[in-house]
Amino acid sequence: MTILVTGATGNAGGAVVQSLAEQGIPARALIRSATTLPSGVEPVLGDLNKPDTFADALTGVSAIFLLSGYDRLEELLANAVDAGVGKVVVLSSSSLDGELTNAVAAYHHATEEAVRATTLEWTFLRPNSFMSNTLRWLDQLHAGDEVRVQFPDVAVSTIHPRDIADVAVQALQGSSDGKVLRLTGPVALTPVEQVAILGEAIGRPLTAYPMTRSETHDALHASMPAPYAEAIESFFADRTIDETSVNNTVTSLTGQPARTLQTWVQQNAALFT
C-alpha cells in the first residue's frame, strides 16, 4: 500500500502526511517545491492543476487523498485509473449540506460528481471549519490584543486538522468505501469563546470585538471575490449550513475523542508569537 497525498503542505494534507508517517504507511507527498517531509514520505514534485506533471508518480499508488476544486480533474482521475489506483478520499466540505450552486459548494460538488463517475472506490469527507482558521487573526494579533470577529454569535464545532487526517487514513485503507462522512469537532464555540481560549493559551489578554453584519459584509468583500464572500455570508449569517451540531464520527472511526481547540492552540501557540 502506498498513498499519494495532494495538498501535502496544507493544513489537512500536511496532517494526513504526518498521520501516515506515524503509522508507518508508505506515502508520496505532492509538493510544488522542495520541503522537509517526515521520514519515509517520498516527495513528488508536481502541480495538482497539471496532472501530467505527476502522472508517473501514480504507478504503485493504491489510494489518493485528493483536494477539491482543481483544474483537469477528469484527466487526473483517468490517470489514476490507468495506473491501477483503487481508491480516492476527497476532502470535500460541509457546504454541500446547503445550496449546491453557491460558489464554495459548487466546486466541491463538481469534484464529488467527477469521482462518482469513475470506477474508483471513494469516500467523501465533509468537515466543519478547521481549528487552524484561527490563524486568520494573526495580523490583528501582531497589531494588538483586540481581535475583530465575524459572525460573533454563531457557534461552530470546529475540527482539528489531525482528526480529519486520522479519519482520512482509515478511509484510505479501505474503510468507509462509498460513504459521505460529516466531521465535526467536540464542542460548538462562538468566535468570542475561541478568542478567549487562544488568549489563555498564548498568555495574552485578548478581547473580541463583535463585528456587525455590515462590517463583516464589507470585510469579506474586500478580501475575496464576491461570489465567495456571498457564500460565506450565506453559510454563517443566514445559517444555510449547520456547523453548530456535534457528531461522534471522529470517535467512532478512530477510537479516540475529537481533539479540542485548547489542544490545537497549545500545539500551535508558537505560531502566534
Cell numbers found for residue 22: 506515524
3-state secondary structure of 14: helix
pLDDT at 58: 98
> b/e for 87-110, b at 16 or more Cβ within 10 A?
bbbbbbbbbbebeeebbbbbbbbe
| Angle formed at CA 101 by CA 152 and CA 226, multiple of 5 degrees | 55
- With beta carbons less than 8 A apart as the criterion, state whether 120 and 80 touch: yes
pLDDT at 1: 87
pLDDT at 175: 85
Rounded to an integer, what distance in angstroms lies between the CA atom of residue 145 and that of residue 247?
33
pLDDT at 273: 82
**Ordered mean pLDDT values, 10 residues apiece, the chain (273 residues):** 96 97 97 94 97 97 97 98 98 95 96 98 98 97 96 98 98 94 98 97 96 97 97 95 97 97 96 89
Kind of pairing between the strands at 63-67 and 179-183? unpaired
